[in-house]
Amino acid sequence: MLVHICCSVDSHYFLSELQKVYPEETFTGYFYNPNIHPKSEHDLRLNDVKRSCEMLGVKLIVGDYDTHHWLEGVKGLELEPEKGDRCTQCFDIRLARSAAVAKEINETKFTTTLLSSPMKEQEKLYMQGDTIAKNHGLEFIKINVRANGGTQKQNELAKADNLYRQNYCGCKFALQQQRSKQNRFSLEMMSHIGAQILPGSIEERQKTFAHRDTLEREGREYVLLQRKYIVWRLLNAKIQSLSKVIPSYIIAKSQNKKDARTGPILWIKPNLFENLPRFYAMEDKKEKYQNKQYLIGVSKKDDTIFVHLHLLNLLLDTHYPSIKELAYHPPKYEDELFFRNILCGQESINPIVVVDEIFSGNICVQIQGIFQEEAVFRVVENL
């Protein structure tokens, strides 16, 4: 039997139940989901499905990520609500391709793990499956794994086996509608210009679950947890004098500014090392800091802090020659927070702006960012 697979959370329990109902059957999984956006999320779910299939002893076929075909198929239905006509068309696209693959590998039956999702209308899927099966000379297997507490059992199994539990169905249209109702930004559709891995991003999830897989291969114990974070994203920023835009880089967790006028900028060299915790071993940097002009620009009118690029290079052991290079090859996010902690303290949200020139006149600061609560996956190794 060929089983179309949408995600590991649905497939892990669904395949487990299928194996009980059809103990003599050999199952082949087929992951085909060009609806999932962005591709990084698609790949994250695919990797988790591979792990699930290995655990269950199920062979897996991976379909093409032909998003153009899918987008053409749902054209005109972009504004449909979830469970509406766009979803119906999406199921048709994926089930029709699954049926074709079943025929190619000489299977006579097929089904889909979409049947286990509480977000999908089961009866509609039954009808669609039957129609597509008839067109291909196949049998569509209808099984209800949601009944008798099945959905709860599915969630419990997903947590017990440390699966990746995504927080949206897949397509960008449903994601945008969902986040709009929640009055939240779709962080999944954002990425850093310099590919910096940010908390709450898909790239961070990929890194987290890759670490899970490494620990499992090495036989090391771990716990998969979710923790609440206030994450930050920069949407846009512009630092401008009366005559020109000043090349700049905004440090993480900088609060918003709307046309803030700084007044005259005073460049100083404060004692940054006086109150640092002892575990920051920075005696070598302290000596260099005393001997050179590593300056910080401050204003009595505004709380924005300007930092010369030389100081960032000193404290982070980097060698950025310009702001452009910093923007396209940024330090790690945690290093930016470390830099913020030295300058202002770990709880601060003062705008910190890195520049590569000294200026003294009135500066206009515009920063638009977001602070948003997110549940972030963490893998904690058990020592």
Across the chain, which has 383 residues, the per-10-residue mean pLDDT values are 97 96 96 97 98 98 97 97 92 97 97 88 90 97 92 95 95 95 94 93 97 97 96 96 92 97 93 74 80 88 95 94 97 96 92 94 95 96 91
Per the structure, how many domains does the chain have?
A: 2
Same domain membership, residue 239 and residue 349? yes
| Helix and strand counts by DSSP (H, E) for the chain | 12, 13
For 29, the domain range is 2-189
Same domain membership, residue 159 and residue 279? no
Q: Give the pLDDT of residue 278.
A: 65
b/e code 273-305 from CB counts within 10 Å (16+ = b): eeeeeeeeeeeebeeebeeeebbbbbbeebbbb
Same domain membership, residue 138 and residue 237? no
Residue 100 lies in a domain: yes
Residue 128 lies in a domain: yes
Same domain membership, residue 162 and residue 240? no
Within 10 Å of residue 257's Cβ, how many Cβ atoms? 23
Residue 37 lies in a domain: yes
Q: Give the pLDDT of residue 120.
A: 74
Q: Give the pLDDT of residue 279.
A: 66
d(CA 326, CA 338) in angstroms, rounded, equals: 16
CA atoms within 13 A on the CB side of 193: 11
Same domain membership, residue 178 and residue 290? no
Same domain membership, residue 170 and residue 310? no
At 203, the amino acid letter reads: E
Residue 168 lies in a domain: yes
Contact 184, 370 (CB under 8 A): no
24: CATH:
3.40.50.620
Q: Give the pLDDT of residue 9.
A: 96
Same domain membership, residue 261 and residue 157? no
Same domain membership, residue 351 and residue 280? yes
Q: Give the pLDDT of residue 327.
A: 97
Residue 9 lies in a domain: yes
Residue 106 lies in a domain: yes
Residue 210 lies in a domain: no
Same domain membership, residue 178 and residue 254? no
d(CA 141, CA 155) in angstroms, rounded, equals: 23
Residue 119 lies in a domain: yes
Specify the pTM. 0.92
Q: Give the pLDDT of residue 118.
A: 77
Same domain membership, residue 139 and residue 75? yes
Same domain membership, residue 300 and residue 248? yes
Contact 314, 289 (CB under 8 A): yes
